[in-house]
Amino acid sequence: MFVVYGKIELHLPYTSSLKEKRKTVQAIIAKVRKRFNVSICEVDHHELWQRSTIGFAAVSASFAESALILSTLKEIVYQYSDQAELIDFHYNQISD
């Protein structure tokens, strides 16, 4: 069993309201959830228009699967590069 968890920090330079920010962040979260069974939500900077921190956690059966989850998370964030810039992608993996 492998557990992977971490946070993604985003800068949203083109948003001008919390509503626009929520739309982008929720789109990223929905796309991740659709692809994998991952616990993911916005965990910090709720009141700021142009900044967001997203926390995630997942359990997988193999190291390869956890690596796939991490690479897919990054890939999904990069798909929104016209709306959000990746500031930091920090994660930890624990094996049993």
59-85 residue pLDDT tens: 998 899 989 999 999 999 999 888 889
29-59 residue pLDDT tens: 999 999 888 999 999 888 888 999 999 999 9
- pLDDT at residue 16 greater than cutoff 90: no
Q: What pTM was estimated for this model as a whole?
A: 0.85
Query: Which domains are assigned to the chain?
Result: 2-95 (3.30.70.1120)
- pLDDT at residue 10 greater than cutoff 90: yes
- Long-range Cβ pairs for the range 63-71 (8 Å, 24+): 63/2, 63/93, 63/95, 65/2, 66/2, 66/3, 66/4, 66/93, 69/4, 69/36, 69/38, 70/4
pLDDT at site 75: 92
